[in-house]
Amino acid sequence: MKRRTLLRGAVTAGLAVAGGAAMARPAAANTDYLLVVVEQAANQIQRFSNGTADWNTTPGWHWSAPNTDTWKYLADVRRRLTATWDDVLVCCANGTSSTGGRAAMVRESNKEVIWTAVVPGNPHAVERIDGHGAIVTASSRARTTGPAYQSGGGINVFVPATHGGLPPTSFADSISTGFPGAHGVLWDDEHQLLLAIGHEELRAYTLVTNAGGIITGLSRVATLTFTGTGHDLQPDYSSKDILYTVGGDASNPDHGIWKTRPVQNNITGTWSFTTPVRLYDWYFTKSFSKLPDGTEFWVDAPSAATWWNDTVGFSGRADSVRTGARFYKARFWSHALT
């Protein structure tokens, strides 16, 4: 059963108190947007319109991952605009290889793989740092030699040697910082912060750069703690909030969908997160965000043992369904259709 009941009641220390009657979601505006999903049954990146509920047609744009072990289980995708490489889709895959999963940058116009690298562990999320051209991945577990997993995982930053260049393809040349259970990354362009979520923490990092502006490291400047593992981290495109999900069932008091935002102290210059507010007490949500008109959209897994769904949910209208699909993440593509 999917958890789709809005919590009501007082909010104390960031925890919504349940018990009230269900409230209807705000109605969606009539704006038609494009969304991009990772679909693991076909192992494709696919684009659909927010304006239709039947997604059984041919996607408006799609790209198929290579049929190799490192490309199994596409896990994340973001559309990013670049000055040098045109509009690109940055993506990652968990992989089933002992060497790890994959990260890549695919040009939208001709579907050419411009850059790709093997990423140790099982990358769950990917991002591109605007202005630097660096690709960031989040792996929830590190891999030992061979197929076995070890605990750990972390954030890996593949940094180009020059602005506008391509990142290195070797993991040995990347910048890494440990973060057990790392599942999500997001570049906050307004505040120039790299945000990441994993086991029991939401973190904010500033970039450490050399005299030439090249990234040489990360410096953690803020931490928000909770119980459980954070699964997704996305912007609210209708506000300045960021939205994150925490997995777990009713035994975990912090499961659900939350909003917060990073803030800087005007006097000390230090960073912190605002007190989080829980929007929904869903259990196994894999992605959640809001479109510029305030429409919420999500992929909500049916159980702890199943990490996909054939449905992308929307507030204010019927959900979109693709028969046989295994959607894992849904993202805002960008721009209203004209």
* pLDDT value, residue 20: 32
Element (H, E) at 38: strand 33-39
* pLDDT value, residue 179: 94
Instruction: State the distance between the two ends of the chain, measured CA to CA, in whole angstroms.
Output: 37
Tokens representing residue 171 in the block: 């993991």
* pLDDT value, residue 236: 96
* pLDDT value, residue 97: 87
Most confident option among 3-7, 205-209, 247-251: 205-209
Assess whether pLDDT exceeds 80 at residue 220: yes
Per-residue pLDDT tens digits for 89-142: 999 999 998 888 999 999 999 999 999 999 988 999 999 999 999 999 999 988
* pLDDT value, residue 239: 95
Annotate 239-308 with three-state secondary structure: CCCEEEEECCCCCCCCCEEEEECEEECCCCCCEEECCCEEEECCCCEEEEEECCCCCEEEEECCECCECC
* pLDDT value, residue 148: 64
Assess whether pLDDT exceeds 70 at residue 196: yes
Under the banding of pLDDT at 50, 70 and 90, the label for residue 337 is very low
Which tops the pLDDT comparison, 271 or 98?
271
Element (H, E) at 227: strand 215-235
Assess whether pLDDT exceeds 90 at residue 2: no
Assess whether pLDDT exceeds 60 at residue 71: yes
Assess whether pLDDT exceeds 50 at residue 14: no
